[in-house]
Amino acid sequence: MKRKSIGKKRISACVLTAVLAASILSGCEYAPSIDELIHGDKSAQKEVSEAVEPETEEQKETEETEAASETEVTEEADASDAAAADDTEAVLQAFVNDEIPAGDKKFSELYDYVKEELGIEPDVYYYDVDDDGKKELLVNQQYYGLDIYEAIDGKIMFLTGGEGTTGFCSIYEGEGKTYVAHSDFSHGGRQLLTLTRYEGDGNKVEEITINAEYYDNEDDHYDENSTFTYNGESITMKEYEKYMDTYKPVDTDDLK
């Protein structure tokens, strides 16, 4: 009798081992412990004994339909954004063509002086200056840099522009962002730069000033003894040059 008992225990152990191995190989997410199997945990035994049912064709079709629907929604949104961008540029071009005014002035009234005084047509560019996916109109007024316009609700709005020799207007980029710059690099004893970041519909969201002043320098160039500021706070010459390397003007050839 004793030998039979030992034999039965050996058989049970073998069965338990086989069942456990089968549960692991079948890819079952839950593998019962030896203790659960020995003590007859019914839920554990059921977990092992039941095979994982394969995904039905109906389930596969449902998943494919949902995925296609999500893709279609994304494509429609992209198409809508592209259409809005095209409409914006069309409105701006209508202004350039003298078809609609900016306020009460047409394009020719504002920029005929460029042709009359310099004998050239004013250069126009399209560039997204506020990172909203829609381009603004940039007009090179020659004397003080760029004038910038945007189309809002089908109307032409003047955003900003050159403000004399002390506020030459251009486009800068830095740290992955686009800025409208007003600068004074043409007068002696100073280099003044103000960067303004816009975010849709003419809203200002950031302004940075980076200045160097060296009025007493006989060579008309800054050195370690010059005054450097960033947003009004004193900085070193090394820090000033680092900021000037971070923010760079966009070449007009890249604006066309």
Beta strands (DSSP E) in the chain are: 124-127, 136-140, 146-152, 155-161, 168-174, 177-184, 190-198, 204-213, 227-230, 233-235, 248-249
Q: What percent of the chain has pLDDT over 70?
A: 70
192-208: average pLDDT: 93
Weakest mean pLDDT among 36-45, 93-102, 118-127, 162-171: 36-45
102-123: average pLDDT: 94
Please give the structure tokens belonging to residue 46.
């059921």
Sheet of 227-230: strands edge to edge? 233-235, 227-230, 204-213, 190-198, 177-184, 168-174, 248-249
CA dihedral 65, 66, 72, 76 (to 10 degrees): 150
Q: Is the pLDDT of residue 233 over 50?
A: yes
Q: How far apart are CA 102 and CA 96, in angstroms?
A: 10
Q: Residue 67 has what pLDDT?
A: 65
Residue 177's pLDDT band (cuts 50, 70, 90): very high
Angle between helices 42-49 and 2-25 (to 10 degrees): 60
Q: Residue 24 has what pLDDT?
A: 43
Q: Are 158 and 170 in contact (CB under 8 A)?
A: no
Q: Residue 72 has what pLDDT?
A: 55
Residues forming a β-bridge with 206: 197
What is the three-class DSSP state of 184? Answer: strand
Return the DSSP state at 222: -
Q: Give the mean pLDDT of the chain.
A: 80
Return the DSSP state at 135: P
44-51: average pLDDT: 47
